[in-house]
Amino acid sequence: MEQTFVMVKPDGVQRNLVGRIIHKFEQKGYKLTALKLLQPSGEQAEEHYKEHKGKPFYRGLVAYIMSGPVVAMVWEGKDVVRGVRSLIGATNPAEALPGTIRGDYGLDIGRNIVHGADSEDNARREISIYFRKEEICKYNKGEEDWVYEEKSI
């Protein structure tokens, strides 16, 4: 099964949205395999946003992600990268559809509540920034028989 990285950003933590966000992914049928509350270090923040280095907004992104606690998570499931991005909604909450996390809870692009990896490669890279391999749980959930027609686990 595919894995992806999700982070509830400082605004989502401060606004008490962590449980609602986790609930969205659980309702969809994805499996939570790692979770931690942390305040990212400068090194983690810079690595997380390295593709934006040199852009005018880079320093602001790095400072913001370090400004308070975040919740880092690894989710697993069939086509989970694309599915999670769909549940999260457009980067700009003003363009996010109702029913998505950003569409329901976001108002400002600079406070868009949650981050989700945009590709399998970036998911692997971002997971490695925040989790050691042994921190990611491998387990079977009984409901997987009811979520997937054919399991490939």
What residues are annotated to the active site?
115
Token duo for residue 61? 């992104």
Give dist(CA 67, CA 152) in Å, integer: 40
- Number of helices (H) and strands (E) in the chain: give both, helices first: 8, 4
Alpha carbon of 48 to those of 94, 126, 147: distances in Å? 24, 6, 32
Q: Which of 103, 102, 76 is nearest to 9 (CA)?
A: 102
User: Residue 54 has what DSSP assignment?
Assistant: T
